[in-house]
Structures are given as C-alpha cells and as structure tokens.
Amino acid sequence: MFRHIYASLSERNKTSFSRILEFVRSFSRVEVVSEDGNPVLNSRGNQVTRPCVINTRSLVLSDDPMVLLGTINLLSLSFV
C-alpha cells in the first residue's frame, strides 16, 4: 500500500486523484431486500443499506477507470 501527501502531488496527479475520488463517491449504497423483494428494515424502521463493492484492484489496473462504472454497478446490483 502506498500513501501520499495530497499537497506533494503534482497538479496532474491531484486532478487524477480528484477524478477517482469523485468516481468512488458516485456510488450510492445498495438497499437490502429480502428474498421475496421486500425492503429489510432496521429496529428504527429505516431501510437497511450496505456499501457497494468496488474492485479497487481493477480500478487501479484499468487504463480507463471510468469504463468500469457500468461494470461495477451491475456487479453491485447483482448481489442484492
């Protein structure tokens, strides 16, 4: 794992980082439903959600991470 200080990044890398951050934040949480399609509620009556699964390895190794947008959404929704 590599960690970088944002301030020490070049302008190009800051732009790339901002695009990836925006991309990752664009995913909404997946609503959990029961096998018969009914929403699962918590003890307060709120819809239970879970974060989307993002394959970060594919994201990092991709020539164009934005191409993965459709693939990741389809994979996340298939697990509902």
Q: Which residues lie closer than 8 Å to 66 by C-beta, 6 or more apart?
A: 23
For residue 52, pLDDT over 50 is answered with yes
Helices within 1-80 (DSSP H only): 11-25, 56-61, 68-78
The pLDDT of residue 80 is 38
18-43 tens-digit pLDDT: 888 887 788 777 889 999 999 999 99
pLDDT band at residue 77 under the 50/70/90 scheme: very low
How high is the pLDDT of residue 41? 94
